[in-house]
Amino acid sequence: MTHARKAGFIVLVLILAAAGLYFLHPTWLPVMGRHDTGKGERADAGDRSIAVVAAPVVLADVPVYVTGVGSVKPTNTVVVKAQITGKIVEIGFNEGQDVKKGDLIARLDPALYKAQLDQAIAKKAQDAALLDATNVELARLVKLLDSSAGTQQQVDSQRGLVAQYAAQVEADAAAIEAAQAQLDYTVIKAPIDGRTGIRNVDIGNIVSSGDTDGIVTLSQIRPIDVLFSIPQQNLAEVVKASQAGPLSVEALDQDGHTVIAEGKLTVIDNQVDPTTGTVKLKAEFANQDEALWPGAFVNARLKVKTLKQVMTVPVAAVQRGPGGTYSYIVRPDDTVRIMPVSVTLQDDRIAVITKGLKPGEHVVTTGFNRLQDGAHVRVSTPEEADPAKMKVPLAEQNHGRHSGRKGSNREKKPAAETGSAAGTAEKPAPAAAAEPADASPKPADASQ
């Protein structure tokens, strides 16, 4: 074989080998192009700053509250009952009606009690007539004694009889008063101002003083009280604050934020419950809009003091680690710096900072997923800081980083196997949940 033929044969073998490689692994040839594209993507992703949400450090007056869970109680509650036994002949109210003290609640059949009063009056008249007769007889006997026609014994006996009838007349007068009271009890009136509940009896029913449910329950809801408990650790602070004047109390809705009524503290219980370590407080609310209803559970917060011009940040800006609490400060060059902070008070919205920050600085509240000291950031909206909504998610960036080396092997796998691998790929971690930046101060909770 000549030298030219050998060279041609080698060239042919190389061409066939290249064709076979291309047929078996078609992604090997454009791998450089994809390497370039991956580098471009990585460079483009590397140029992007981390999207975060930031809020300023604000000086503000922060009210300090002690909170507790309580229930609404009527200022006065009366179960209106009959004081005598009788049949109801009239109902003088509508269910749910506001009544005044002295308004008619019900009327009982008065016939029996009117007859008893008439009997008592007649008995008194009878005994009064006997008393008059004995007085006349006593006067006659005294004259006989003066003329020596009678004896002292007769006079003394007659005087005793006069006293006996006089006492009987007084007893009759008391019986009349009792019978009159019984007759008056047939008219049942409201003992207090309040609102009626659901009626327990109807016209024609026989009622008595022994009935447990009564005719109706009358509750005074304007004003109204709230009973709530606070930990005994806060008792000294509350007592000290109450000595300076009445303390304001706010009743909160079930969400713990919406104020539904405002009142004042009226009573601090005289002892701590040893089983729970809490002390009961009572607050009074005008309740003109009837926002509070008897029996309802409410959250109550008692304002004990106000911190003047303190540094505040959203609570999401305070992070915790092995070294304690810290925050990410956004510097003028759009990098972040980790700064240890001291927190004195904190609730579910704001934190009061005493050390570590300065007024006017901005701290990160959302977007901590990839933050580290010195990282470049871009202050944006909460939506832009969400990794799930980034233009190039973290999973795609990682895929682009490794596609140059292993892309061809992945494309050779069957579709079902590829889908399974994609299903187990690591997903980007969600951003830390936090509220949008809010510069307005919120109240702090002393119990925390």
Q: Does 14 reside within a domain? A: no
- pTM reported for the whole predicted model: 0.63
| Structural domain for 258, as ranges | 66-74+225-307
CA dihedral 42, 46, 47, 50 (to 10 degrees): 140
- Are residues 100 and 201 both part of a single domain? yes
Task: Answer with the one of 263, 286, 307 that is the final residue of a domain.
Answer: 307
- Are residues 406 and 374 both part of a single domain? no
* Lowest mean per-residue pLDDT among 212-216, 295-299, 435-439: 435-439
CB 253 within 8 A of CB 317: no
- Are residues 238 and 353 both part of a single domain? no
Q: Does 340 reside within a domain? A: yes
Domain count within the chain: 4
- Are residues 91 and 202 both part of a single domain? yes
Does the pLDDT value for residue 272 go beyond 50?
yes
Q: Does 20 reside within a domain? A: no
Most confident option among 17-31, 129-143, 148-162, 270-284 = 270-284
The percentage of residues in the chain with a pLDDT greater than 90, rounded to a whole number, is 64
pLDDT digits (tens, 9 = 90+) for 383-427: 555 555 544 443 343 444 444 444 444 433 433 333 333 333 333
CB 302 within 8 A of CB 281: yes
- Give the C-alpha separation, 363 to 318, whole Å: 9
The pLDDT score that the predictor gives to residue 24 is: 55
The percentage of residues in the chain with a pLDDT greater than 70, rounded to a whole number, is 76
CATH number (domain holding residue 378) = 2.40.420.20
Phi, psi angle pair for 444, to nearest 5°: -100, 155
- Give the C-alpha separation, 243 to 234, whole Å: 15
CATH number (domain holding residue 70) = 2.40.30.170
The pLDDT score that the predictor gives to residue 28 is: 44
Q: Does 22 reside within a domain? A: no
- Are residues 95 and 198 both part of a single domain? yes
- Are residues 93 and 183 both part of a single domain? yes
* Lowest mean per-residue pLDDT among 235-239, 269-273, 291-295, 343-347: 343-347
Q: Does 25 reside within a domain? A: no
Give the H/E segment covering residue 164. Answer: helix 152-184
- Are residues 278 and 189 both part of a single domain? no
Q: Does 10 reside within a domain? A: no
- Are residues 231 and 125 both part of a single domain? no
- Are residues 315 and 303 both part of a single domain? no
The pLDDT score that the predictor gives to residue 330 is: 95
pLDDT digits (tens, 9 = 90+) for 151-191: 888 888 989 999 999 999 999 999 999 999 999 999 999 99
CA distances from 162 to 134, 143, 169, 392 (A): 5, 16, 11, 117
Q: Does 384 reside within a domain? A: yes
- Mean pLDDT taken over the chain: 82
pLDDT digits (tens, 9 = 90+) for 92-140: 999 999 999 999 999 999 999 999 999 999 999 999 999 999 999 888 8
Across the range 250-271, mean pLDDT stands at 93
- Are residues 324 and 256 both part of a single domain? no
Task: Answer with the one of 256, 290, 307 that is the final residue of a domain.
Answer: 307
- Are residues 413 and 437 both part of a single domain? no
Q: Does 94 reside within a domain? A: yes
Task: Answer with the one of 283, 307, 331 that is the final residue of a domain.
Answer: 307
pLDDT band of 67, cuts 50, 70, 90 = very high
- Give the C-alpha separation, 436 to 438, whole Å: 6
- Give the C-alpha separation, 109 to 112, whole Å: 8
- Are residues 145 and 267 both part of a single domain? no
The pLDDT score that the predictor gives to residue 146 is: 82
pLDDT digits (tens, 9 = 90+) for 73-86: 999 999 999 999 99
Question: What would the DSSP string read from start to end of 70-134?
Answer: EEEEEEEEEEE--SS-EEEEEE---TT-EE-TT-EEEEE--HHHHHHHHHHHHHHHHHHHHHHHH
From the CB of residue 414, how many other CB atoms can be counted at a distance below 10 Å? 8
